[in-house]
Structure 1
Amino acid sequence: MTCGKSPKNRPGDGQSAACLGVALRCCQRTSLAIARKQGYQLAFTLEDGLADVRHLDNIPRLLISGNPSLKAFASSIAQIQETDPVRVMHVDLDYVYDPDPAQQTKNINTLIQRSTT
């Protein structure tokens, strides 16, 4: 497997690290495909993050090195969080706008109240 980088690149030059990252992701996908073909239902990946019980063939893990203190370890674990869901709202402005300023203010306030619940 090649990524188009010169063999003269050395670790720490940025390009080698990018090439290695591409190679590892490619190898991981290939390895997971082979494991699935062989009947494996669980697999740890090289990615950080939270596991999802619906995807047991793609369980992320946290790599720890350097024997961190308990405080540093706890901080690392606490930083792994689910991504925040995106809230989407469709607003029909015909129901918000009103020629009467008092009614329009009431409509806007109602909209704000609904969007914060």
Structure 2
Amino acid sequence: MVGAISLLFVCEFVGDVVARVVGLPLPGSVLGMVILLLWLASLKRERETLSQVTSWLTAHLSVMFVPAAVGLVAQGPVLSRYGIGLVVATTVSTLLTLVVTVLVFHWALALGERRAPLGREKGVVA
């Protein structure tokens, strides 16, 4: 189990180092996930321990939000000054993201149906 946890930390650390050294505009944790993905794709063996560790982390994900909540409380003066603007910006950007996601999904669905309508592929009789 320690090995699986170490693998997660090493991938995150290497991703962070690469992001800082190269100066990529990506968070190190994202590069760490890519490194982990490449590692797992290259090794074709049982990963039961890693599955157990990640299942435990996912089950206790709410604990991971405690530092963020403490950080918000610690930034009380900033939130009192810019809080309304942050809430408005977050709400507008979330709604805009939802609308764009729906539009892209409908576009992709229509494109897929134009190429191969459901039930009308070669050799399939509806």
Q: Same fold (TM over 0.5)?
A: no
- Answer 1 or 2: higher relative contact order, Cα 8 Å, separation at least 6: 2
Shorter chain as denominator, the TM-score bin is: under 0.3
Look at both structures and tell me which one has the larger radius of gyration over its CA atoms. Answer: 1
Task: Give the TM-score normalised by structure 1.
Answer: 0.25
Q: TM-score, normalised to structure 2's length?
A: 0.23
